[in-house]
Amino acid sequence: MPDTAVRPVTIGVLGGRSWIANEAVIPAIRASAGAALGSIGSRSGSISYADVLADPLVDAVYIALPNDMHLEWVLAAAAAGKHVLCEKPMGVSQAEVRSMIEACDAAGVLLAEAFMTPFHPRSAAIDACLRSGELGEIRHMDAAFTFCLAPGDNYRWLGERGGGALLDVGIYCLSPLLTAMGGPPSNVAARATVTGTVDATTAVWLEWPTGATASVVTSIELAERQSLLVCGTSASLTVDRPFTPGEKDTSFSITHSDGRVERRTTAGGNSYLAMIEAFAAAVHGQAKWPRPLSESVIMAELCDRIREVASATGATP
């Protein structure tokens, strides 16, 4: 009988000093049956980013660099024939995201955004609920992701590096809203509080043609909070810590129009491990990458609109 075993996808890393790479993604690569850890490149280490791309044993790269470096190294990886898993946000603008897609399509390599939340079982159940229509007509939604980031040389405090609250955590808040409404809003209003060169806090108001509205707060200066509320004519969905779920995050609540509160439970899980396994399967052609690049483009376009509106209201310098 032929050998049907599939060789693990060897994933190199660009950004070996990244906190998220070391705390979550590299351990997930090591734990995955479908992936193997390749060479790790860092700015000041003995292995450079270019060395990783030149390594013939590396099939794909995970890019964990500051946001302003994503475009350069996605294009370089595509030119080297490596599949790409790029940390969110994929680009600092929709123009960058489109350039990445074009380059990877031309090179025949997979491009995927490393947005891990949808890979958690609870997140999948929430998305299914939002798509099902069981909440009725959506009237209002509220999402918040805030935390205190100590001042320092972290790129998130540097506008020229693609820093700021919206680009860092906006995708978490905006993604379930787009899922619930099936697309982007028609009207956008925003106000940013600027510290130095970045939006330390961005507050957003969104409206859809149906009359549905949403409020969003992202911040790197406010006390830690994660919350999601989706209110419909039949029921409302609420969940605490919706955006960085772990093994113990296994429930969310549905409050029905008659006042009955239903507590739904799911499995826990390691969303980073599930993301890596999905990426390896997509590289091998065993399954499609579950989050289409069109969603990355829509998200980047919406963030562009939010920043433009915030600037137009005089909220940024």
73: nearest Cα among 156, 161, 14, 9: 14
Cα gap 202→37, rounded to integer Å: 37
Q: Give the rounded percent of residues in the chain with a pLDDT score beyond 70.
A: 97
Q: Say yes or no to pLDDT of 292 above 70.
A: yes
Same domain (yes/no): 153, 57: no
pLDDT at 7: 92
Same domain (yes/no): 83, 133: no
Same domain (yes/no): 158, 227: yes
- pLDDT tens digit sequence for 142-200: 999 999 999 888 999 999 999 999 999 999 999 999 999 999 999 999 999 999 999 99
Q: What is the mean pLDDT of residues 80-92?
A: 98
In a domain, 165, yes or no: yes
Walk across the sheet containing 9-14 and list its strands: 35-41, 9-14, 60-63, 83-87, 111-114
φ and ψ of 86, to 5 deg:
-105, 130
In a domain, 231, yes or no: yes
- pLDDT tens digit sequence for 30-74: 999 999 999 999 998 899 999 999 999 999 999 999 999 999 999
Residue 87 belongs to domain with CATH number: 3.40.50.720
Question: How many separate domains does the chain show?
Answer: 2
State which residues form the domain around 259. Answer: 121-268+298-312
pLDDT at 5: 67
In a domain, 33, yes or no: yes
In a domain, 80, yes or no: yes
pLDDT at 45: 86
In a domain, 3, yes or no: no
Same domain (yes/no): 229, 249: yes
pLDDT at 130: 98
Same domain (yes/no): 32, 154: no
Same domain (yes/no): 111, 204: no
In a domain, 293, yes or no: no
Q: Say yes or no to pLDDT of 300 above 70.
A: yes
pLDDT at 291: 94
In a domain, 260, yes or no: yes
Residue 239 belongs to domain with CATH number: 3.30.360.10
Same domain (yes/no): 253, 281: no
Q: Give Dmax over CA atoms of the chain in angstroms.
A: 69
- pLDDT tens digit sequence for 211-241: 999 999 999 999 999 999 999 999 999 999 9
pLDDT at 77: 98
Same domain (yes/no): 149, 62: no
pLDDT at 44: 86
pLDDT at 317: 41
